[in-house]
Amino acid sequence: MRTSASYSSHSSSPLPFSALQDRYFDDELVAGERIGAQIRPSRLRRFLRTLLITGLILGAGYIVALDPAAWWQRAQWVGAQAGSLGALLESKPASQAEPPTKAVPPRLEALETEPIKQASIRAGQPMEIAAPTRPEPSEPADSALPEVQPLPPLVVDPNDPYQKRAEAVGLHPGLSRVLLARLSAADYRNAEHAINTAIANTPDGTFFTWPRQRTSDLALFKVHFVRGVTPDCRRYVVTVAKDGWVTTALPMERCGPNLRQAAVRK
C-alpha cells in the first residue's frame, strides 16, 4: 500500500522586512538598555561617604585655623605658579633664529717679489738663496745670575758626639740624629773620603758617588756642587742613603785653605 507524502503547512514564501521587525526585533536587547532593577546605594555606603567628606572638611578647617598666615602664603604661591604656567602656555613660540651666514674668507693679495728675483727667473738664471743665520748663544752676564747668599754659621752641640763627628768629616751636623747614630765608623770614613775627593777633583755641575762597590751594611754618599759665594769657595750638598732611607743634608761650604787641605787628604 502506498502512502502519500506529508508536507509542512508552513509557507515557504519570504516575509517582508517590516513583518520580521515587528515579530523579532522588539524582543532583542538594545545597547545601553538596563537589565533588571536599578541598584541603589546602601545606607552603609552613604554613611561612609558622608563621614569621609565631613572628615576632609574638618581637616582642612583645622589646618587653616592652625596657621592662617602660612596657609595664605601657600595659597598665594600656588596662584602665582599657576598664573606663570598659564602665561607660559599662552605665549607664542619664539621665532626660529636665522641660520648663521657663512664667513667670507679674506681675499689674498699677491705677494710682491723683488725686481731682481723676477728678472733672474725670467732670464732662466739660478737664484741664490741665503741660508738662515742662527743666533749664537750668548753666555749669561754675571749681573743676570742671582746673587748667592752666604751660608748661616754652623751650630754644633758640644755635648753631642754625633754632631761633632759629622762636622769633622764634612757632613752637616743638622742631619737627623737617628741617621748619624746608625752610621758606622766605616760610613764616616767613606763620607770623609767622598767629600774630600769630590772637592778636589769633581767639577761643578757633576756629582761624585762613594763607595763604588756598595754592600748592604754600608751607606752610600753622593756629593754634588752648587754655586758658591766667591770663586775660591766650593759649596756642596751630600745625599746619604742608608737602610732604604735617603736623606739630603743642608749645603756646606769650603773656602781657601780648606780646599788645599781637601786636596792633600785625597
Is residue 49 within a helix (H) or strand (E), and if so which, with residue range?
helix 43-66
- Rounded Cα gap, residues 41 and 14, in angstroms: 50
Listed range (126-130, 197-201, 235-239) with the worst mean pLDDT? 126-130
Q: Is the pLDDT of residue 264 over 50?
A: no
Count, residues in the chain = 266
Q: Would you state the pLDDT for residue 104?
A: 63
Q: What percent of the chain has pLDDT over 70?
A: 59
Q: What is the pLDDT of residues 212-232, one digit of tens each?
A: 887 888 999 999 998 877 778
Q: Would you state the pLDDT for residue 255?
A: 84
Detail the DSSP E strand segments found in the chain.
207-210, 220-226, 233-242, 245-248, 252-255
Q: Is the pLDDT of residue 78 over 90?
A: no
> Taking phi first (over 0 means left), then psi (-120 to 50 degrees means alpha), and beta for anything else, what does residue 45 get?
alpha
For the segment 162-166, the average pLDDT, to the nearest whole number, is 94
Q: What is the DSSP letter of 160?
A: -
Q: What is the pLDDT of residues 6-50, one digit of tens each?
A: 555 555 555 555 565 555 555 566 666 667 666 666 788 889 989
Structure-model confidence comparison of residues 21 and 79, the more confident one = 79
Give 151's pLDDT tier (boundaries 50, 70, 90). Answer: confident
What residues pair up with 233 in beta bridges, in sequence order? 255
Give 210's pLDDT tier (boundaries 50, 70, 90). Answer: very high
For the segment 242-263, the average pLDDT, to the nearest whole number, is 79
Q: What is the pLDDT of residues 87-136, one digit of tens each?
A: 777 765 554 555 556 666 666 565 555 554 554 555 555 555 555 566 56
Q: Would you state the pLDDT for residue 213?
A: 85
Q: Would you state the pLDDT for residue 92?
A: 53
- Rounded Cα gap, residues 176 and 163, in angstroms: 10
As a whole number of Å, the end-to-end CA separation of the chain is 163
* Angle subtended at Cα 238 by Cα 236 and Cα 242, rounded to the nearest 5 degrees: 175
